[in-house]
Amino acid sequence: MSRTTRRRTRVTLSVAVLAVVGATACTAEQPPPPTLRVDRGTVATSVSASGTLVAITEQNLGFPQAGKLAEVLVGVGTRVEPGQVLARLDDFALRQTLEQRHAGLAQQQAQLAKIRNGNSVEAAQATLEQAEKILDATEDQAEATNNANYSATDRAEKQLEFDRKVLDQAEHRLEADKRACGSAPPKTTTPPPPVSSQSAPAEKPPSGLLGTGGSQSATADAAPAGSQAGSGGGLVANPACDRIPADKQAVTDAKRVVLSSETALDTAEQRQNVDEAAGRLSIENARQSVVTAKNEVDSAGSDKPADTSAQEAAVRDAEAQVALAQRDVDNTVLRAPVAAVVSAVNGAEGEYVGAATGTTALAPGSSAALPEIAATSGGGAGGGAAAAPGGGAFIVLNNIDSFQLVVPFEESDAARVAANQRVEITVDAVPDLRAPATVLAIAPSGNSTTGVVRYYATIVLTENDDRLRDGQTALADVMVQSVDNVLRVPSAATRTDAGRLVVDVRGPDGAPVPTPFQAGLVGDEYTEVVSGLTEGQELLLPQGQSTT
């Protein structure tokens, strides 16, 4: 029987009781609606399967996985009690794996908290505002640079214009002096007195006079253009002619200045063009940053719910990895499921043992045959895994006055069943019996029967009862998860409204008040209350159930 079937049965029984109470009172006045209360207790979830009780006299024990024996704590003839540690495998590698899984879970939980509490939208908005400020600053800088370049180009143009005017003036002066030098009337000067051979050496003629000798012919030959020999033998000097060399030098200097100014203007114009192009590029880059920031704002607003869901799934996956790694570590410790005497130990410290299969048994960790499986199949509980050293089970317990139950679990339920979990056994022939038991082992591989894959588990009763008989039909409820001393409500009183769990709280006038609450563990009969309800509150069954 599945867990859902058992839960429906319990709800049906509860409703039936309420219906009987209502029927007995129909002859009188209308009875008050049935109520329940919020109380404290245990909330447990279980998986169920049925099988046949088998009286056992021998029990084969082993580890679910192969490994190196680190400790063997019992020997042949040792009397053991339920839960006593019999042996341990070297668990170093498995513990390292468990640590890695814990680290991975912590990382995924931190990432989930970061997404939930993160300010991605605010950060994206702040980035957008900063990008807009940078765009404004870039435009201001480009404008200031262009204005400075325009001013520098304008000054260079004015300087060139001024230098060209200076050049024109120098050229005009040169042309005027040239004309004046060729057309101005001569100016007579008094010749120096004759120099005798016995007199002092003649002085150097002043500027504008030619020659140092005493002959008139030499003087005439050396006279500059525009100078003429006077009738008295002297030279005629023209000031315009004297200015011509200076005028030429002035023209040369003015041309050099104009060339320098032209170069400066070209440089200023080139700088202006380059800076304008760079400014436009900077502005476009800043605008692109603004567009990108706007896209990030839109993306942050729409991606956060999806990112949260994806990360929640990653956290659940990491939690499952931790649970599997923890179970692997737990399975390195072999405990006695019941009180017994050790009849065989097949292994010593330092040796390697295979996964538990037993020698002739087909049930996981037991000598009982699996239902519906032929004894000649040759498969063990481990699906053909290597046997322990010596060709048999690792540890064999004998002289056990108890019963075991070999039951098949569906795939979804088998993933939650593990060795040493608590079990409650109910027997059809003894309705008031609730026998405690323990999961001995569960097969690591499944068996396909009529197209359905099932995993067989061996369950051992930890207490004996004189009313139990071999072959009785029994139901095993394996407690896969439970919490104690928590606030709880009967699951029959809950319903789902708009995706939330709701119960009807009895109001002051007796009318139901729908009250949502936050649920924790949802068990078979009760649901854990995390918040939203208080202890002692009266609850009404949902209308459909109370009417029924």
Take residue 233 and report the two structure tokens written for it. Answer: 């033998």
The β-bridge relationship of strands 35-37 and 473-490 is unpaired
Question: 410 or 186, which is more confident?
Answer: 410
* Gap between the Cα atoms of 69 and 394, Å rounded: 11
Q: Which of 546, 531, 525 is nearest to 10 (CA)?
A: 525
* Gap between the Cα atoms of 217 and 220, Å rounded: 5
The pLDDT assigned to 371 comes to: 55
pLDDT for 496 beyond 70: yes
Task: Write down the pTM of the prediction.
Answer: 0.39
Looking at 224-264, which runs of residues are DSSP E strands? none
Tens-place pLDDT, residues 81-122: 888 999 999 999 999 999 999 999 999 999 888 888 767 777
pLDDT range class, residue 385, cuts 50, 70, 90: very low
Tens-place pLDDT, residues 274-303: 999 999 999 999 999 999 988 888 777 666
Quick one: 477 exposed, middle or buried, by C-beta within 10 A (0-12, 13-18, 19+)? buried
Mean predicted lDDT score pLDDT of the chain: 78
pLDDT for 386 beyond 50: no
Q: What is the secondary structure of 140-198 as a DSSP string? A: HHHHHHHHHHHHHHHHHHHHHHHHHHHHHHHHHHHHHHHHHHHHSPP---PPPPP--TT
Distance, CA of 103 to chain centre: 14
Q: Which of 94, 513, 142, 22 is nearest to 330 (CA)?
A: 94
Tens-place pLDDT, residues 203-217: 444 333 333 333 333
pLDDT for 233 beyond 60: no
The radius of gyration of the chain from alpha carbons, rounded to an integer in Å, stands at 56
Tens-place pLDDT, residues 416-444: 898 888 899 999 999 899 989 999 888 88
Residue position matching structure tokens 């260079």: 156
pLDDT range class, residue 30, cuts 50, 70, 90: low
pLDDT for 307 beyond 50: yes
Q: What percent of the chain has a predicted confidence (pLDDT) above 70?
A: 74
Question: 183 or 206, which is more confident?
Answer: 183
Least confident of 24-33, 384-393, 412-421, 474-483: 384-393
* Gap between the Cα atoms of 17 and 19, Å rounded: 5
pLDDT range class, residue 404, cuts 50, 70, 90: confident
The pLDDT assigned to 29 comes to: 54
| Angle between helices 92-117 and 239-330 in degrees, nearest 10 | 130
pLDDT for 372 beyond 80: no
pLDDT for 234 beyond 70: no
In terms of average pLDDT, the best of 77-81, 151-155, 440-444 is: 151-155
Take residue 317 and report the two structure tokens written for it. Answer: 């996956």
pLDDT range class, residue 24, cuts 50, 70, 90: very low
The pLDDT assigned to 339 comes to: 82
Mean pLDDT for the stretch of residues 12-32: 46
pLDDT range class, residue 377, cuts 50, 70, 90: very low
